[in-house]
Amino acid sequence: MSGASSTAAPGAAAPDVLIVVMDCVRASEFPGGGPNPVPMPFAGRLQRESVVFPRAVSVAPWTLPSHASIFTGLYPWEHGCHGRGSLRLDPRVGRLASVLGAHGYATASFSGNPIISPYYGLVDGFDFSAWGEWWEQVHRWRSTPTHMQRAGDAPVPTEPTPLSFRDRTTRTLKLIFQRLPATLALGDGIGRRIADPEGRWVGNLNPWIEPSLRQWLVGQPVHRPTYCFINLLDAHEPYLLDLVDARSLPEWWKSMRIAQDALAVLERPDPPPDDMARMHELYRRTIQVIDRRLERIVSIYRDAGRWDRTLLLLTSDHGQAFGEHGMVWHGISTHEEMLRVPLWVRFPQAERAGSIGRGWATPMDAVPTVLRSTGASFNLPNSGACLQDLIDSERPFPLLAAGDGTDWNRPLMAHLSLQRQAELNVFSIAAYLGQRKIVVDPVSGAVRGWDISTDPPSSLTDSRLSDPELGPVIEAARRAGSSLLNPSASGVTEEVDERLRSWGYG
């Protein structure tokens, strides 16, 4: 674990900090990440101002532990917020928002994903936070935040209260409707046209984010630096196709008849390829929507006169699978489709614009990167690396990632066969070093490796796994796995589990 230090407090020249997480966007779909990226005109222009890290990996394949790492700079087994540990980030763990707030920054979080909320301790330290609800994934026309909290407000209970009868009923209806997404797509399309006849929000999830951001940013004194976190949920399942946007009614039906509830998805180890291809195409459409939203967000900073001095970190919390390795969507595994994410940094005044980062990087590196850029005096131990150092150099130590299994989601797993439960409840630690990826099973101790410079990656033989250079890497992965499987505390309560499942995690 590393830390950084500085003696200067941020003043008028301190940069504004903006972290944007494009939930579920995997690297291969994003410009600079694969041979067939989604067309994104604005991102193409932004790329020319940014440093791109093509070797970037999330430290976890699902929202909760990944965001906890982005906010703390710690691995999941270090901060303890994961499926084997607590599902609420310990308030004693240091956070970037708290450190920047203590040094004069105005701080705010705007998240479409309801996991980024006080229920899970992820917005502790922010002056202001706003977050959506699960139903905004299927009713996309709300123009004001569903939930807001300001510093000084009465805190949300440490544990969420049990869901009401109405909440349980609507969650059940959502499950039923997701078995036939056509019902959701029709309802969403009609509702948006009534609520938004001018078509300003068409395709957007949580359309309140941009106007709320503008209102908050304009309200800050011009010389006060700001730190803003944004989660855009557009690329998260379920994927709905507006009938107006379909090529024909039969084509619309072929896409909207595919079950998209978690149980239907997880119970099939061999999803139909045609269905997955259609889902993948809908997913790519959502990324085009994100491109337009990024342009609006940057315009808000330009209009406020802050863009030149803004440090932007653009990334994702994890990837998304469409049938690869028998997996659909995200969570559970440490396959490349789940872990590889886009990671761009636009430094103030577009410093090092157009550079390609050499070293392995992760969204968790936001903490040391931001703190070095702000010049803040701080003491926030972390396990990240400054992205400034990874532009021209390799990462000085292996980059690790954890798959934490499905133990926390027992109610959902109970509906699956024992064989399928065993296939899904897999723990693994992945380690990246140079062109090699090592995966350790902390339960069995098995070690596998791949050369990821090839497409597809080629397996490493036992002799290559015996390379002395890999010994410390494998040992680091084993230690991480041991910590993952033996957490100091567990917070997987019935109430927390119930709320997570209502939000689409089972």
Q: What is the pLDDT of residues 175-207, one digit of tens each?
A: 788 888 999 899 888 888 888 888 777 778 899
- Tell me the pLDDT band of 162, cut-offs 50, 70 and 90: low
**Cβ(104)–Cβ(87) under 8 Å?**
no
Is the pLDDT assigned to residue 503 strictly greater than 50? no
Amino acid at the residue 347: F
Question: What is the C-alpha separation between 441 and 283, in angstroms, rounded?
Answer: 31
Question: What is the C-alpha separation between 127 and 148, in angstroms, rounded?
Answer: 11
Question: What is the C-alpha separation between 9 and 41, in angstroms, rounded?
Answer: 38
Specify the pLDDT at position 53.
98
pTM tops 0.85? yes
Question: What is the C-alpha separation between 97 and 94, in angstroms, rounded?
Answer: 9
Instruction: Give the tokens for residue 415.
Output: 């509906």
Q: Sheet harboring 147-150: ordered strands across?
A: 51-52, 343-346, 310-315, 16-22, 226-232, 106-111, 128-131, 147-150
Specify the pLDDT at position 9.
46
Is the pLDDT assigned to residue 478 strictly greater than 90? yes
To 10 degrees, the CA torsion angle through 381, 385, 386, 388?
170
For the stretch 129-143, pLDDT in tens is: 999 988 888 777 788
- Tell me the pLDDT band of 4, cut-offs 50, 70 and 90: very low
Q: How many helices (H) and strands (E) does the chain have?
A: 17, 15
For the stretch 111-124, pLDDT in tens is: 999 999 998 999 99
Q: Which CATH class is domain 16-396+492-502?
A: alpha beta
- Better pLDDT: 190 or 316: 316
Find, among 178, 139, 176, the residue nearest to 259 by Cα.
Answer: 178
